[in-house]
Structure 1
Amino acid sequence: MTGNFNLPKPEFDLEATVERAMALINRTLQPSLEDAQKVVDKVRAGKPLVAPGDLVDQVTRGNRMRAARAVSFSLPSILPGVGTAISAAAVPVALREVLKEAVSAAIKVGLLFDRDLEDPELTRVAVLLVLTEGAVRLDKTGRIRPDAILGRHAALLGRTASYDALAALTTTERQEIAASQSEILRAWALAVGPPLLAGLLPFGLGPMAAANYVQYVLKGTITSATRVFGPAGTTPVAVDEIPGREVQEDVPGS
Protein backbone atom coordinates (compact mmCIF):
# COMPACT_ATOMS: atom_id res chain seq x y z
CA MET A 1 0.00 0.00 0.00
CA THR A 2 1.29 3.44 -0.84
CA GLY A 3 -0.57 5.15 1.96
CA ASN A 4 -2.00 7.68 -0.48
CA PHE A 5 -5.75 8.25 -0.53
CA ASN A 6 -7.12 9.82 -3.67
CA LEU A 7 -10.68 11.09 -3.68
CA PRO A 8 -12.70 10.16 -6.76
CA LYS A 9 -12.90 12.88 -9.38
CA PRO A 10 -16.35 12.88 -10.99
CA GLU A 11 -16.72 13.87 -14.58
CA PHE A 12 -18.44 17.24 -14.61
CA ASP A 13 -19.53 19.13 -17.69
CA LEU A 14 -20.18 22.74 -16.68
CA GLU A 15 -21.65 23.70 -20.06
CA ALA A 16 -24.14 20.82 -19.93
CA THR A 17 -24.99 21.72 -16.34
CA VAL A 18 -25.67 25.33 -17.33
CA GLU A 19 -27.96 24.13 -20.14
CA ARG A 20 -29.94 22.05 -17.63
CA ALA A 21 -30.00 24.98 -15.26
CA MET A 22 -31.34 27.31 -17.95
CA ALA A 23 -34.45 25.18 -18.31
CA LEU A 24 -35.08 25.72 -14.60
CA ILE A 25 -34.04 29.30 -14.00
CA ASN A 26 -35.90 30.80 -16.95
CA ARG A 27 -39.05 30.22 -14.92
CA THR A 28 -37.93 32.05 -11.77
CA LEU A 29 -37.99 35.69 -12.89
CA GLN A 30 -41.53 36.48 -11.74
CA PRO A 31 -41.61 36.45 -7.92
CA SER A 32 -44.75 37.44 -6.05
CA LEU A 33 -44.91 41.20 -5.61
CA GLU A 34 -47.55 40.72 -2.93
CA ASP A 35 -45.31 38.52 -0.80
CA ALA A 36 -42.35 40.86 -1.26
CA GLN A 37 -44.48 43.87 -0.31
CA LYS A 38 -45.58 42.14 2.91
CA VAL A 39 -41.95 41.69 3.96
CA VAL A 40 -41.12 45.30 3.15
CA ASP A 41 -44.19 46.64 4.96
CA LYS A 42 -43.42 44.57 8.06
CA VAL A 43 -39.87 45.90 8.28
CA ARG A 44 -40.99 49.47 7.65
CA ALA A 45 -43.71 49.22 10.30
CA GLY A 46 -41.11 48.36 12.89
CA LYS A 47 -38.83 51.26 11.94
CA PRO A 48 -40.99 53.91 10.23
CA LEU A 49 -38.45 56.73 10.59
CA VAL A 50 -35.44 54.81 9.28
CA ALA A 51 -34.26 55.60 5.74
CA PRO A 52 -34.85 52.86 3.12
CA GLY A 53 -31.13 52.38 2.51
CA ASP A 54 -30.66 51.45 6.17
CA LEU A 55 -33.37 48.79 5.97
CA VAL A 56 -31.98 46.87 2.99
CA ASP A 57 -30.16 44.38 5.22
CA GLN A 58 -33.31 43.52 7.19
CA VAL A 59 -35.55 43.28 4.15
CA THR A 60 -33.25 40.86 2.32
CA ARG A 61 -31.96 38.80 5.23
CA GLY A 62 -34.44 36.00 4.62
CA ASN A 63 -33.35 35.67 0.99
CA ARG A 64 -29.71 35.30 1.99
CA MET A 65 -30.45 32.68 4.60
CA ARG A 66 -32.82 30.67 2.37
CA ALA A 67 -30.27 30.66 -0.46
CA ALA A 68 -27.56 29.37 1.88
CA ARG A 69 -29.82 26.66 3.26
CA ALA A 70 -31.17 25.58 -0.12
CA VAL A 71 -27.71 25.24 -1.62
CA SER A 72 -26.40 23.27 1.34
CA PHE A 73 -29.34 20.88 1.11
CA SER A 74 -29.09 20.48 -2.67
CA LEU A 75 -25.38 19.60 -2.61
CA PRO A 76 -25.35 16.47 -0.39
CA SER A 77 -21.68 15.51 -0.78
CA ILE A 78 -21.37 13.87 2.61
CA LEU A 79 -19.55 10.82 1.30
CA PRO A 80 -17.05 10.63 -1.56
CA GLY A 81 -18.30 8.94 -4.71
CA VAL A 82 -22.06 8.57 -4.34
CA GLY A 83 -22.60 11.86 -2.52
CA THR A 84 -20.47 13.71 -5.04
CA ALA A 85 -22.40 12.27 -7.97
CA ILE A 86 -25.69 13.32 -6.38
CA SER A 87 -24.28 16.79 -5.79
CA ALA A 88 -23.23 17.17 -9.44
CA ALA A 89 -26.78 16.41 -10.53
CA ALA A 90 -28.09 18.96 -8.00
CA VAL A 91 -26.00 21.91 -9.21
CA PRO A 92 -28.70 23.11 -11.68
CA VAL A 93 -31.24 23.08 -8.85
CA ALA A 94 -28.80 24.99 -6.65
CA LEU A 95 -28.37 27.61 -9.39
CA ARG A 96 -32.11 27.99 -9.66
CA GLU A 97 -32.48 28.48 -5.91
CA VAL A 98 -29.74 31.12 -5.82
CA LEU A 99 -31.33 32.94 -8.76
CA LYS A 100 -34.79 32.78 -7.20
CA GLU A 101 -33.58 34.36 -3.98
CA ALA A 102 -31.44 36.90 -5.85
CA VAL A 103 -34.43 38.05 -7.92
CA SER A 104 -36.68 38.14 -4.87
CA ALA A 105 -34.13 40.23 -2.96
CA ALA A 106 -33.83 42.67 -5.88
CA ILE A 107 -37.62 43.07 -6.01
CA LYS A 108 -37.77 43.80 -2.28
CA VAL A 109 -35.08 46.45 -2.65
CA GLY A 110 -37.11 48.06 -5.44
CA LEU A 111 -40.25 48.12 -3.30
CA LEU A 112 -38.29 49.44 -0.32
CA PHE A 113 -37.28 52.45 -2.42
CA ASP A 114 -40.94 52.94 -3.41
CA ARG A 115 -40.44 51.98 -7.03
CA ASP A 116 -43.62 51.13 -8.93
CA LEU A 117 -43.05 47.54 -10.04
CA GLU A 118 -46.53 46.94 -11.42
CA ASP A 119 -45.22 47.14 -15.00
CA PRO A 120 -43.90 43.59 -15.52
CA GLU A 121 -41.80 44.50 -18.56
CA LEU A 122 -40.04 47.39 -16.84
CA THR A 123 -39.51 45.32 -13.70
CA ARG A 124 -38.07 42.45 -15.72
CA VAL A 125 -35.50 44.58 -17.54
CA ALA A 126 -34.50 46.19 -14.23
CA VAL A 127 -33.91 42.76 -12.71
CA LEU A 128 -31.99 41.67 -15.81
CA LEU A 129 -29.78 44.72 -15.40
CA VAL A 130 -29.11 43.73 -11.78
CA LEU A 131 -28.23 40.17 -12.84
CA THR A 132 -25.94 41.43 -15.61
CA GLU A 133 -24.04 43.56 -13.12
CA GLY A 134 -23.71 40.53 -10.89
CA ALA A 135 -22.42 38.32 -13.70
CA VAL A 136 -19.82 40.89 -14.75
CA ARG A 137 -18.63 41.32 -11.17
CA LEU A 138 -18.33 37.56 -10.58
CA ASP A 139 -16.75 36.70 -13.91
CA LYS A 140 -13.07 35.81 -13.55
CA THR A 141 -12.55 34.64 -17.12
CA GLY A 142 -13.16 37.85 -19.05
CA ARG A 143 -15.58 36.02 -21.34
CA ILE A 144 -18.61 38.03 -20.25
CA ARG A 145 -18.70 41.24 -22.27
CA PRO A 146 -21.60 43.55 -21.35
CA ASP A 147 -21.54 45.34 -24.70
CA ALA A 148 -21.93 42.02 -26.51
CA ILE A 149 -24.97 41.18 -24.38
CA LEU A 150 -26.69 44.54 -23.96
CA GLY A 151 -25.29 46.50 -26.88
CA ARG A 152 -25.68 50.25 -26.40
CA HIS A 153 -27.65 49.64 -23.20
CA ALA A 154 -24.49 48.37 -21.50
CA ALA A 155 -23.87 52.03 -20.61
CA LEU A 156 -26.57 51.63 -17.93
CA LEU A 157 -24.40 49.24 -15.91
CA GLY A 158 -22.92 50.76 -12.79
CA ARG A 159 -25.11 53.88 -12.91
CA THR A 160 -27.01 54.94 -9.82
CA ALA A 161 -30.79 55.20 -10.22
CA SER A 162 -30.57 53.39 -13.54
CA TYR A 163 -34.21 52.38 -13.00
CA ASP A 164 -35.12 55.96 -13.91
CA ALA A 165 -33.17 55.62 -17.14
CA LEU A 166 -34.91 52.33 -17.90
CA ALA A 167 -38.31 53.91 -17.27
CA ALA A 168 -37.42 56.67 -19.74
CA LEU A 169 -36.64 54.19 -22.53
CA THR A 170 -39.16 53.53 -25.26
CA THR A 171 -41.00 50.24 -25.38
CA THR A 172 -38.81 49.15 -28.28
CA GLU A 173 -35.64 49.96 -26.36
CA ARG A 174 -36.78 48.00 -23.31
CA GLN A 175 -37.64 45.08 -25.56
CA GLU A 176 -34.05 45.14 -26.83
CA ILE A 177 -32.88 44.45 -23.30
CA ALA A 178 -35.57 41.84 -22.68
CA ALA A 179 -34.53 40.06 -25.88
CA SER A 180 -31.13 39.43 -24.27
CA GLN A 181 -32.69 37.57 -21.34
CA SER A 182 -31.34 34.12 -22.27
CA GLU A 183 -27.85 35.51 -22.82
CA ILE A 184 -27.98 37.37 -19.51
CA LEU A 185 -29.15 34.31 -17.59
CA ARG A 186 -26.54 32.14 -19.27
CA ALA A 187 -23.80 34.65 -18.39
CA TRP A 188 -25.09 34.77 -14.81
CA ALA A 189 -25.16 30.97 -14.53
CA LEU A 190 -21.65 30.62 -15.97
CA ALA A 191 -20.37 33.23 -13.51
CA VAL A 192 -22.12 31.79 -10.45
CA GLY A 193 -21.82 28.10 -11.32
CA PRO A 194 -18.08 27.28 -11.20
CA PRO A 195 -17.54 28.20 -7.52
CA LEU A 196 -20.51 26.00 -6.64
CA LEU A 197 -18.32 23.09 -7.67
CA ALA A 198 -16.81 23.50 -4.22
CA GLY A 199 -20.03 21.86 -3.13
CA LEU A 200 -18.67 18.61 -4.56
CA LEU A 201 -16.07 18.37 -1.79
CA PRO A 202 -16.80 15.30 0.36
CA PHE A 203 -17.54 14.80 4.05
CA GLY A 204 -19.91 17.78 4.32
CA LEU A 205 -17.23 20.36 3.52
CA GLY A 206 -18.76 21.14 0.12
CA PRO A 207 -22.18 22.30 1.32
CA MET A 208 -20.56 24.64 3.82
CA ALA A 209 -18.33 26.16 1.13
CA ALA A 210 -21.27 26.52 -1.26
CA ALA A 211 -23.48 28.11 1.41
CA ASN A 212 -20.81 30.67 2.24
CA TYR A 213 -20.30 31.42 -1.45
CA VAL A 214 -23.96 32.17 -2.14
CA GLN A 215 -23.91 34.73 0.67
CA TYR A 216 -21.29 36.53 -1.39
CA VAL A 217 -23.44 36.23 -4.54
CA LEU A 218 -26.53 37.58 -2.78
CA LYS A 219 -24.54 40.40 -1.22
CA GLY A 220 -23.42 41.55 -4.67
CA THR A 221 -26.96 41.26 -6.05
CA ILE A 222 -28.35 43.38 -3.23
CA THR A 223 -25.66 46.02 -3.72
CA SER A 224 -26.45 46.15 -7.46
CA ALA A 225 -30.19 46.33 -6.77
CA THR A 226 -29.63 49.22 -4.37
CA ARG A 227 -27.73 51.05 -7.08
CA VAL A 228 -30.36 50.32 -9.75
CA PHE A 229 -33.50 51.05 -7.72
CA GLY A 230 -32.17 53.62 -5.27
CA PRO A 231 -32.12 57.37 -5.86
CA ALA A 232 -29.26 59.07 -7.67
CA GLY A 233 -26.23 59.51 -5.49
CA THR A 234 -27.10 56.60 -3.20
CA THR A 235 -24.07 54.76 -1.88
CA PRO A 236 -24.54 51.00 -2.32
CA VAL A 237 -25.46 49.38 0.98
CA ALA A 238 -22.91 46.94 2.36
CA VAL A 239 -24.75 43.83 3.52
CA ASP A 240 -23.20 42.03 6.48
CA GLU A 241 -22.33 38.39 6.04
CA ILE A 242 -24.66 35.85 7.65
CA PRO A 243 -22.97 34.59 10.82
CA GLY A 244 -21.27 31.29 10.14
CA ARG A 245 -23.15 29.63 12.98
CA GLU A 246 -26.49 30.21 11.29
CA VAL A 247 -25.32 28.48 8.12
CA GLN A 248 -23.57 25.62 9.88
CA GLU A 249 -26.76 24.66 11.66
CA ASP A 250 -28.31 23.79 8.28
CA VAL A 251 -25.37 21.90 6.76
CA PRO A 252 -26.07 18.18 6.21
CA GLY A 253 -23.72 15.94 8.09
CA SER A 254 -22.33 18.71 10.27
Structure 2
Amino acid sequence: MTSGFTFPKPEFDIESTVERAMALINRTLQPSLEEAQQVVDKARAGKPLVAPGDLVGQVTRGNRIRAARAVSYSLPSILPGYGTAISAAALPVALREVLKEAVSAAIKVGLLHDRDLTDPELTRIAVLLVLTDGAVRLDKTGRIRPEAILGPHASLLRRAAAYDALAALTAKERQEIAASQSEILRAWALAVGPPLLAGLLPFGLGPMAAANYVQHVLKGTVTAATRVFGPATPAPVTVEELPDREVQQDDPRP
Protein backbone atom coordinates (compact mmCIF):
# COMPACT_ATOMS: atom_id res chain seq x y z
CA MET A 1 0.00 0.00 0.00
CA THR A 2 1.48 3.33 -1.02
CA SER A 3 1.30 6.44 1.06
CA GLY A 4 -1.06 9.13 -0.12
CA PHE A 5 0.99 11.95 1.40
CA THR A 6 2.54 14.42 -1.05
CA PHE A 7 4.11 17.84 -0.66
CA PRO A 8 1.65 20.62 -1.49
CA LYS A 9 2.40 22.45 -4.69
CA PRO A 10 3.11 26.10 -3.82
CA GLU A 11 1.20 28.76 -5.66
CA PHE A 12 2.92 31.98 -6.65
CA ASP A 13 1.42 35.24 -7.88
CA ILE A 14 3.92 37.84 -9.08
CA GLU A 15 1.35 40.64 -8.82
CA SER A 16 0.62 40.00 -5.15
CA THR A 17 4.33 39.59 -4.49
CA VAL A 18 5.00 42.99 -6.01
CA GLU A 19 2.27 44.46 -3.82
CA ARG A 20 4.02 43.12 -0.72
CA ALA A 21 7.38 44.25 -2.02
CA MET A 22 6.15 47.82 -2.57
CA ALA A 23 5.61 48.31 1.14
CA LEU A 24 9.25 47.37 1.74
CA ILE A 25 11.09 49.05 -1.12
CA ASN A 26 9.51 52.50 -0.81
CA ARG A 27 11.86 53.13 2.10
CA THR A 28 15.11 52.45 0.26
CA LEU A 29 15.44 55.51 -2.00
CA GLN A 30 17.64 57.58 0.32
CA PRO A 31 20.87 55.68 1.05
CA SER A 32 23.61 57.17 3.23
CA LEU A 33 25.52 59.79 1.25
CA GLU A 34 28.27 59.70 3.85
CA GLU A 35 28.93 55.99 3.38
CA ALA A 36 28.81 56.30 -0.40
CA GLN A 37 31.21 59.26 -0.31
CA GLN A 38 33.68 57.27 1.79
CA VAL A 39 33.75 54.50 -0.82
CA VAL A 40 34.24 57.01 -3.64
CA ASP A 41 36.96 58.93 -1.77
CA LYS A 42 38.85 55.71 -1.04
CA ALA A 43 38.80 54.71 -4.71
CA ARG A 44 39.99 58.14 -5.80
CA ALA A 45 42.76 58.21 -3.20
CA GLY A 46 44.10 54.91 -4.47
CA LYS A 47 43.96 55.95 -8.15
CA PRO A 48 43.97 59.77 -8.26
CA LEU A 49 44.79 60.00 -11.97
CA VAL A 50 42.17 57.52 -13.17
CA ALA A 51 39.07 58.95 -14.89
CA PRO A 52 35.75 58.59 -13.01
CA GLY A 53 34.32 56.27 -15.64
CA ASP A 54 37.16 53.83 -15.07
CA LEU A 55 36.47 53.71 -11.32
CA VAL A 56 32.79 52.85 -11.60
CA GLY A 57 33.40 49.12 -11.42
CA GLN A 58 35.53 49.50 -8.31
CA VAL A 59 33.14 51.70 -6.33
CA THR A 60 30.09 49.57 -7.16
CA ARG A 61 31.73 46.17 -6.62
CA GLY A 62 30.37 45.88 -3.08
CA ASN A 63 26.85 46.62 -4.31
CA ARG A 64 27.05 43.85 -6.90
CA ILE A 65 28.27 41.35 -4.31
CA ARG A 66 25.61 42.24 -1.75
CA ALA A 67 22.86 42.19 -4.38
CA ALA A 68 23.93 38.71 -5.46
CA ARG A 69 23.81 37.60 -1.84
CA ALA A 70 20.16 38.63 -1.75
CA VAL A 71 19.34 35.40 -3.56
CA SER A 72 20.24 33.59 -0.34
CA TYR A 73 16.56 34.10 0.49
CA SER A 74 15.94 31.45 -2.17
CA LEU A 75 18.11 28.83 -0.48
CA PRO A 76 15.13 27.01 1.14
CA SER A 77 14.10 26.10 -2.41
CA ILE A 78 16.66 23.30 -2.31
CA LEU A 79 13.84 21.45 -0.55
CA PRO A 80 10.96 20.90 -2.99
CA GLY A 81 7.48 21.82 -1.82
CA TYR A 82 7.62 23.69 1.48
CA GLY A 83 11.10 25.05 0.75
CA THR A 84 9.90 26.64 -2.48
CA ALA A 85 6.91 28.15 -0.68
CA ILE A 86 9.19 29.69 1.95
CA SER A 87 11.47 31.14 -0.73
CA ALA A 88 8.48 32.62 -2.59
CA ALA A 89 7.31 34.36 0.57
CA ALA A 90 10.79 35.84 1.05
CA LEU A 91 11.03 37.19 -2.51
CA PRO A 92 9.77 40.70 -1.58
CA VAL A 93 12.66 40.98 0.87
CA ALA A 94 15.09 39.92 -1.84
CA LEU A 95 13.61 42.53 -4.17
CA ARG A 96 14.10 45.19 -1.52
CA GLU A 97 17.74 44.20 -1.03
CA VAL A 98 18.45 44.30 -4.77
CA LEU A 99 16.75 47.69 -5.03
CA LYS A 100 18.74 49.03 -2.08
CA GLU A 101 22.02 48.03 -3.71
CA ALA A 102 20.91 49.39 -7.10
CA VAL A 103 20.08 52.78 -5.56
CA SER A 104 23.34 52.83 -3.60
CA ALA A 105 25.33 52.04 -6.76
CA ALA A 106 23.58 54.85 -8.63
CA ILE A 107 24.41 57.31 -5.85
CA LYS A 108 28.08 56.31 -5.92
CA VAL A 109 28.21 56.87 -9.67
CA GLY A 110 26.76 60.35 -9.14
CA LEU A 111 29.34 61.20 -6.47
CA LEU A 112 32.11 59.80 -8.62
CA HIS A 113 31.14 62.30 -11.30
CA ASP A 114 31.23 65.13 -8.72
CA ARG A 115 27.49 65.68 -8.68
CA ASP A 116 26.09 67.60 -5.73
CA LEU A 117 23.57 65.18 -4.24
CA THR A 118 22.77 67.16 -1.10
CA ASP A 119 19.37 68.17 -2.48
CA PRO A 120 17.25 65.14 -1.47
CA GLU A 121 14.41 65.92 -3.89
CA LEU A 122 16.70 66.32 -6.91
CA THR A 123 18.65 63.21 -5.93
CA ARG A 124 15.46 61.20 -5.56
CA ILE A 125 14.07 62.07 -8.97
CA ALA A 126 17.49 61.35 -10.53
CA VAL A 127 17.46 57.90 -8.92
CA LEU A 128 13.87 57.38 -10.11
CA LEU A 129 15.02 58.19 -13.64
CA VAL A 130 17.82 55.61 -13.33
CA LEU A 131 15.37 52.97 -12.10
CA THR A 132 12.93 53.75 -14.92
CA ASP A 133 15.69 53.37 -17.48
CA GLY A 134 16.68 50.05 -15.92
CA ALA A 135 13.10 48.77 -15.88
CA VAL A 136 12.53 49.67 -19.53
CA ARG A 137 15.69 47.87 -20.61
CA LEU A 138 14.93 44.77 -18.53
CA ASP A 139 11.30 44.51 -19.62
CA LYS A 140 10.71 41.83 -22.24
CA THR A 141 6.94 42.07 -22.29
CA GLY A 142 6.46 45.56 -23.70
CA ARG A 143 4.17 46.42 -20.80
CA ILE A 144 6.46 49.12 -19.41
CA ARG A 145 6.06 52.29 -21.47
CA PRO A 146 8.14 55.31 -20.37
CA GLU A 147 5.63 57.78 -21.79
CA ALA A 148 2.87 56.31 -19.64
CA ILE A 149 5.03 56.64 -16.52
CA LEU A 150 6.92 59.89 -17.04
CA GLY A 151 4.71 61.67 -19.56
CA PRO A 152 6.58 64.49 -21.32
CA HIS A 153 9.68 63.81 -19.22
CA ALA A 154 10.22 60.39 -20.82
CA SER A 155 12.65 62.01 -23.27
CA LEU A 156 15.12 62.37 -20.38
CA LEU A 157 15.78 58.63 -20.60
CA ARG A 158 17.54 59.12 -23.91
CA ARG A 159 19.52 62.21 -22.89
CA ALA A 160 23.15 62.15 -21.78
CA ALA A 161 23.90 64.10 -18.58
CA ALA A 162 20.18 64.03 -17.77
CA TYR A 163 21.01 65.27 -14.25
CA ASP A 164 21.72 68.71 -15.70
CA ALA A 165 18.30 68.73 -17.34
CA LEU A 166 16.67 67.61 -14.08
CA ALA A 167 18.39 70.40 -12.18
CA ALA A 168 17.00 72.91 -14.68
CA LEU A 169 13.39 71.77 -14.23
CA THR A 170 10.89 73.91 -12.39
CA ALA A 171 9.58 72.81 -9.00
CA LYS A 172 6.29 71.81 -10.65
CA GLU A 173 8.06 69.68 -13.27
CA ARG A 174 10.13 67.92 -10.60
CA GLN A 175 6.97 67.17 -8.67
CA GLU A 176 5.46 65.59 -11.77
CA ILE A 177 8.31 63.08 -11.83
CA ALA A 178 8.23 62.55 -8.06
CA ALA A 179 4.49 61.86 -8.26
CA SER A 180 5.27 58.87 -10.51
CA GLN A 181 7.39 57.18 -7.83
CA SER A 182 4.91 54.37 -7.13
CA GLU A 183 4.51 53.61 -10.84
CA ILE A 184 8.29 53.65 -11.34
CA LEU A 185 8.94 51.31 -8.43
CA ARG A 186 6.16 49.00 -9.58
CA ALA A 187 7.62 48.91 -13.10
CA TRP A 188 11.07 48.18 -11.70
CA ALA A 189 9.78 45.41 -9.44
CA LEU A 190 7.78 43.82 -12.26
CA ALA A 191 10.85 43.89 -14.51
CA VAL A 192 13.26 42.50 -11.91
CA GLY A 193 10.95 40.18 -9.98
CA PRO A 194 9.83 37.52 -12.50
CA PRO A 195 13.37 36.43 -13.51
CA LEU A 196 14.19 36.10 -9.82
CA LEU A 197 11.64 33.30 -9.79
CA ALA A 198 14.46 31.21 -11.20
CA GLY A 199 15.76 31.30 -7.66
CA LEU A 200 12.84 29.11 -6.66
CA LEU A 201 14.02 26.17 -8.76
CA PRO A 202 14.86 23.30 -6.43
CA PHE A 203 18.13 21.47 -5.80
CA GLY A 204 20.29 24.62 -5.72
CA LEU A 205 19.98 25.45 -9.43
CA GLY A 206 17.72 28.46 -8.85
CA PRO A 207 19.92 30.58 -6.56
CA MET A 208 22.83 30.34 -9.01
CA ALA A 209 20.67 31.50 -11.93
CA ALA A 210 19.15 34.29 -9.83
CA ALA A 211 22.60 35.49 -8.70
CA ASN A 212 23.72 35.79 -12.32
CA TYR A 213 20.58 37.72 -13.18
CA VAL A 214 21.09 40.14 -10.27
CA GLN A 215 24.57 40.89 -11.60
CA HIS A 216 22.92 41.78 -14.91
CA VAL A 217 20.45 44.07 -13.12
CA LEU A 218 23.23 45.94 -11.29
CA LYS A 219 25.27 46.30 -14.47
CA GLY A 220 22.28 47.91 -16.20
CA THR A 221 21.75 50.22 -13.22
CA VAL A 222 25.35 51.42 -13.37
CA THR A 223 25.08 52.02 -17.12
CA ALA A 224 21.90 54.06 -16.63
CA ALA A 225 23.41 55.99 -13.72
CA THR A 226 26.47 56.85 -15.78
CA ARG A 227 24.23 58.25 -18.50
CA VAL A 228 22.21 60.30 -15.98
CA PHE A 229 25.02 61.59 -13.78
CA GLY A 230 27.94 61.55 -16.20
CA PRO A 231 29.07 64.47 -18.34
CA ALA A 232 27.49 65.32 -21.64
CA THR A 233 29.39 64.30 -24.74
CA PRO A 234 31.39 67.33 -25.89
CA ALA A 235 30.08 68.72 -29.14
CA PRO A 236 32.63 68.83 -31.99
CA VAL A 237 34.07 72.32 -32.53
CA THR A 238 34.45 73.61 -36.07
CA VAL A 239 36.75 76.35 -37.27
CA GLU A 240 33.78 78.69 -37.68
CA GLU A 241 32.99 78.39 -33.95
CA LEU A 242 36.49 79.29 -32.77
CA PRO A 243 37.19 82.87 -31.64
CA ASP A 244 39.13 84.94 -34.17
CA ARG A 245 42.21 85.06 -31.96
CA GLU A 246 42.39 81.24 -31.91
CA VAL A 247 42.31 80.88 -35.69
CA GLN A 248 45.86 81.15 -37.00
CA GLN A 249 46.53 81.82 -40.66
CA ASP A 250 49.50 80.31 -42.40
CA ASP A 251 52.35 82.77 -42.69
CA PRO A 252 52.91 83.43 -46.41
CA ARG A 253 56.48 84.58 -45.81
CA PRO A 254 59.25 82.06 -46.54
TM range (shorter): 0.7 to 0.9
Contact 2:130 2:224 in 1 (8 A): yes
In structure 2, the gaps of 5 or more residues are 1-5, 235-254
Q: Does 1:199 pair with 2:199? A: yes
Contact 1:74 1:93 in 2 (8 A): no
Deviations 1:78-122 (A, max 9, x none): 111121011100110010000000000000000000000000000
- Structure 1 vs Structure 2 CA RMSD: 1.5
- Cα separation, partners in 2 of 1:85 and 1:110, compared to 1, 3 Å: same
2:158 corresponds in structure 1 to 158
Paired with 2:9 and 2:230, the residues of 1 have a C-alpha distance of 45
Range that drifts further, 37-46 or 73-82? 73-82
1:70 corresponds in structure 2 to 70
Paired with 1:141 and 1:148, the residues of 2 have a C-alpha distance of 15
Deviations 1:112-167 (A, max 9, x none): 00000000000000000000000000111111110010000001002110000000
Task: Return the offset for 1:75.
Answer: 4.4
Task: Return the offset for 1:8.
Answer: 6.8
Q: Does 1:119 pair with 2:119? A: yes
1:242 corresponds in structure 2 to none
1:101 alignment partner, SS class: helix
Contact 1:75 1:91 in 2 (8 A): no
1:76 alignment partner, SS class: helix
Contact 1:139 1:191 in 2 (8 A): yes
Contact 1:8 1:80 in 2 (8 A): no
What TM-score does the superposition give when structure 2 sets the normalisation length?
Answer: 0.88
Deviations 1:172-195 (A, max 9, x none): 100100000000000000000000
1:161 maps to amino acid: A
1:140 corresponds in structure 2 to 140
Contact 1:25 1:96 in 2 (8 A): yes
Contact 1:75 1:94 in 2 (8 A): no
Task: Return the offset for 1:24.
Answer: 0.2
Deviations 1:205-237 (A, max 9, x none): 111111111000000000000000000129xxx
Paired with 2:7 and 2:85, the residues of 1 have a C-alpha distance of 13
Question: How many pairs were matched up?
Answer: 229
Paired with 1:45 and 1:158, the residues of 2 have a C-alpha distance of 33
Contact 1:63 1:105 in 2 (8 A): yes
Q: 1:29-178 to 2 correspondence within 5 Å?
A: 29-178=29-178
1:91 maps to amino acid: L
Task: Return the offset for 1:7.
Answer: 9.4
Contact 1:75 1:88 in 2 (8 A): no
- Cα separation, partners in 2 of 1:7 and 1:163, compared to 1, 3 Å: farther
2:226 corresponds in structure 1 to 226
Task: Return the offset for 1:74.
Answer: 4.7
1:17 corresponds in structure 2 to 17
Task: Return the offset for 1:72.
Answer: 2.5
Paired with 1:224 and 1:155, the residues of 2 have a C-alpha distance of 14
Contact 1:76 1:207 in 2 (8 A): no
Contact 2:135 2:188 in 1 (8 A): yes
1:220 maps to amino acid: G
Contact 2:74 2:88 in 1 (8 A): no
2:26 corresponds in structure 1 to 26
